[in-house]
Structures are given as structure tokens and as C-alpha cells.
Amino acid sequence: MSVQQLSEQEQIRREKLQKLREAGVNPYPPELFPVSHYSADIKNSFTEETKEQFAQVHVAGRIMSINDKGKVFFIKIQDNQGIFQLYVKRDELYPGEDKSLWDVLVKHGLDLGDFIGATGYVFITKTGETSLHTQSLTLLAKSLKPLPVVKRDEEGNVFDEVTDPEFKYRQRYADLVINPSVRDTFVKRTKLMNSIREFLNQQGALEVDTPVLQAIPGGAAARPFVTHHNALDVPFYLRIANELYLKRLVVGGFDWVYEFSRNFRNEGMDRTHNPEFTVLEFYVAYKDYFWMMETTEQLLEKAALDVNGTTDATIGDETISFKAPFARVSIYDAIKEHTGFDVSEMDEDGLKEVCGKLGIHVDKTMGKGKLIDEIFGEKCEHHYVQPTFIIDYPIEMSPLTKKHRSKEGLVERFELMVNGKEVANAYSELNDPIEQRERFEEQAKLMERGDEEAMYIDYDFLRALEYGMPPTSGIGFGIDRLVMMLTNSPSIQDVLFFPQMRPEKFD
């Protein structure tokens, strides 16, 4: 960026930077700063009885406000725990006759956004605010770009957050600094994943890693991203799912495996879809989808409590209860209830006719499973606000799922709907290698018709099944959607640190 392109504030900050250097102040010093305490810990622990423990404290953070009282400055910094006030007095910081460094550094050199370190003792001001009586101050990093200005109360709480999505998603690093609620969202995201890990680890599950670059994009119906492996001179695909690799591990003798997987699907973007997203999948030997429904209820009830301290979650105007048990409804019953059509015995032509009556667009690439999926997605899904298992899907929709034990033409599958969106998908896994080959071949026919989301035939996975896979149940959770629901976030972009966006053009 040239000087001519800098704003007035950016030019002023660069001039300050030069003056600091000329005065012998390194604006980006290499030495470590020995932080000893953090803001919330000090505020929660400091009393008259404990003040001796705070006789020499080292704090550091980003400047969020400066109150210039002439020979005294009140500077508020933001650290990892919140906002903390520094009391900085000229004659105590520079007790000698030379006050030039006070003018260069403190009075004229500091800006909002700068990182500083301060050493001193903790006390309580006349206004009752726990503060640091600063005895030495160090500039740790000069900020050359002004942060957006927001309004804060006396406690440092923001009450007019910056909401422009273009700014928030492109400059998340700045968004995190000025909007505390954004930070809270991502802290809760980590709490959710830690809660799930704890649940699974306590059950004896093993966390594993599987390939992101795959020769066959298997395990889901989705359009993949394609890349090229130069050393092997063959095309590879970014992972759309890790299902088939986790099942290989069950074949290999691991009875319960799980993975938090970054998946990639070259499809549309909206408030609940991002091309790169996080999924938790786990597979358990000797279990079925009935067991998996009960386990899902237990896992999500625990996660809600660990994240928010309650099984209730506020999503928009709705209160969602993650308290077990959840309702169970078959997909055919759901369609009949919300459309008036019984599609359970219909063939492809009959389903297309129903779609026409319901105003649902169809094309020649769509087989029976895709048509049923469209009807449910367009006309039924949004009705299921409270957690509900939609169960017993038609076989055409589920090429990796075991046939239903008692209902012809169906498979043992469920999807968990919450707030009108799918957050989990689970099966009693198909472990018959001959039938699995036939299902893959049906998918290949759909691909020939132009269905870009049809599954590829994975011959190595078929070979693995031929060695024998025990009865297994598996599930995939959309972690991003769960975070949205537990943090009342309206868009998936709000729960991703760096969501995909069209690249910026820089001069």
C-alpha cells in the first residue's frame, strides 16, 4: 500500500512510529514480556486481605481507551479475559527531571489498538475500579490501522457491535477485538467439541485421523472439489466425508472410532451451508440405529449443559429443549402429514407428479430417492423445530445403509432435525459386500444420468467389506450447525472463524 492510499489516521500513526524509533523506542521489541496476571483473575481475587499477593503484577493487552488527564492517564487494556484499567502517572513513571519519553511515548505515541505491557501494584481507585498503579510501561506492538469505533459502558461492555458482515467475515481478527460476543461464540464452539470428546472418550472411543485428499470422494452424496496430485500425476478429491475410511477401521478391529473432520463440498452457500465445514463422525461395532438414537440424545443433552449450563437453547424466537428423549417420526408419515400425499408406494413417475402439484422443481437427473428428499426438504423439514428423529428412509435415498429388519423397501436410517434443519445423519451400516456393490452400481447409473451428487464406486472399500465388517452403527453430526443452535447464531458464517468469501482485490 502506497503512502497516497493511506487514510489520514494511518499516516499519523506511521509518523508516530517514526518518532518513537527516533527516540530510541522499539515499537516491536523482541524481548518477552513476563505476564503474571490477567484481568478477570485480578478483579475476582483482589481484596484488602489479598493485596500483598498483587504487590508486583505484570499485565499486557491491547489499548481500548485512553483518558488523558494531563499528568495522569487512565488507560484501559483488553487481554484474554476482558478489560482492565491502568493508572499511569507521569511523575511516578518517569520520576527524574527528563520527561521527554512521557511526551513521546505516553502522551503522543500511544493509540487505540496498540499492545502495551505494564508493571505495578493493584489498588482500587476512588471510583471503586480495580486498577494497576503503573510503575513501568512498555510498548509491545504499534497498531498502524485504527479499529472501528464502538460504544462501551463503564465496564467495557459493547452495546453497539459492528454488524456489517462484509467487515466481520473478512476481518475476523478485528471483529474479535471489538465485539466480545463474537469471542464468546467461538469459546462455546470449543466447549462443545471438548464436551463431545469427553463423552466419547469416557465410552472408550478412539479418536483417529483419515485422509483429506482422496482418490475416490465417497461416503456422501455431494459434488466434490477436484485437485491434481503432481507426484502421482492423477486427480484427487478433497474429502466430502470420512465415513468409508472410518468403516475400514472397524473392519480392522477398532470397535468404536471417531473423527472431527474438515469436509469440502463444491456446492451452494447460504445461511446454513459453507463449502468447508466440520463434521463429527463415529462408528460403533455391534450396535444399530436404535442404540444410536439413544446415544445421540445423551450426547446432545450433555453438550447443551456443558456449553450453556442448561438443556434449553434460544434460537431466534424459539426455545429448543435438548432434554432427552426426542420425538421419532418416519419420513413417509412426515410427508403425508405436511403435504397430504402418501408417497410410500409411488414410483419415480408418481413422485414427479406429486412434485409438480407441490410446485417443486424436478429434472431428468433425479431418481426416486432424490425426489423424496426434495419433497421432504421443501415441504416438511422446517416444521421440525424441537429435536426430532426422522426415521426409516426409502432404500433409494441411502446407498450405504442396511435394509430395514421389518419394513420392505426401507432402510434403518435417521436424520435428526432441530430448528427445521438436519444436524445429524445415522444408519445401521450396510455390511453385506455383495449388496453394497449393487447399491454402488445403482449410484453409477444415476451419475450417468447427470446426477453430480451420486456416489462413486469405491472398489477398495468393497474389498474391505469382503474381509468382513461386524454389525455397525454410524453417525455424522454437523458441528457448525450445532454451534449455531447453542449460540443463537443466525448464519453459519457467524460460527466459522474465516468463512469462504469472494477474494478481495488489493491495489
- pLDDT band (50, 70, 90) for residue 1: very low
Report yes or no on 85 lying in a domain.
yes
Same domain, 15 and 137: yes
CATH code of the domain in which 403 resides: 3.30.930.10
Same domain, 102 and 200: no
Report yes or no on 159 lying in a domain.
no
Q: Identify the domain boundary among 130, 147, 164.
A: 147
Same domain, 194 and 61: no
Query: How many CB atoms within 10 Å of residue 435?
Result: 13
Mean pLDDT of 472-485: 97
Q: Which residues contact 135 (CB under 8 A, 6 or more apart)?
A: 92, 93, 119, 120, 121
Sign of CA dihedral 182, 238, 374, 386: negative
- Phi, psi (5° rounding) for residue 477? -110, 135
- What is the tally of structural domains in the chain? 2
Q: Is the peptide bond before 470 cis (omega within 30 degrees of 0)?
A: no
**Reported pTM:** 0.90
Numbered residues of the known binding site for Mg(2+)? 415, 422
- pLDDT tens figures, 369-393: 889 999 999 999 999 999 999 999 9
Report yes or no on 317 lying in a domain.
yes
Please name which of 210, 214, 344, 232 lies closest in space to residue 282, comparing C-alpha atoms. Answer: 210
Pairing of β 83-89 and β 130-141: parallel
By percentage, how much of the chain surpasses pLDDT 90? 83
Same domain, 135 and 193: no
- Phi, psi (5° rounding) for residue 434? -70, -45
- pLDDT tens figures, 207-255: 999 999 999 888 887 889 999 999 999 999 999 999 999 999 999 999 9
Full DSSP string of 151-206: -B-TT--BSS----HHHHHH-HHHHHHH-HHHHHHHHHHHHHHHHHHHHHHHTT-E
Query: How many CB atoms within 10 Å of residue 214?
Result: 21
Burial 496-507 (b: 16+ CB within 10 A, else e): beebeeeeeeee
Numbered residues of the known binding site? 415, 422
pLDDT number for residue 3: 45
- pLDDT tens figures, 146-168: 998 776 666 656 656 788 889 99
CATH code of the domain in which 117 resides: 2.40.50.140
Q: Which residues contact 45 (CB under 8 A, 6 or more apart)?
A: 53, 54
Range of the domain at 41: 3-147
Same domain, 204 and 123: no
Q: Which residues contact 75 (CB under 8 A, 6 or more apart)?
A: 63, 65, 66, 67, 85, 86, 88, 110, 116
Question: Cα(504)–Cα(171) distance, rounded to whole angstroms?
Answer: 11
Same domain, 135 and 189: no
Alpha helices in 60-118 (DSSP H): 90-93, 100-101
Report yes or no on 371 lying in a domain.
no
pLDDT number for residue 452: 75
Three cell numbers, residue 364: 431428468
- pLDDT tens figures, 20-63: 999 999 999 999 999 999 999 999 999 999 999 999 999 999 99
Same domain, 14 and 118: yes
Report yes or no on 134 lying in a domain.
yes
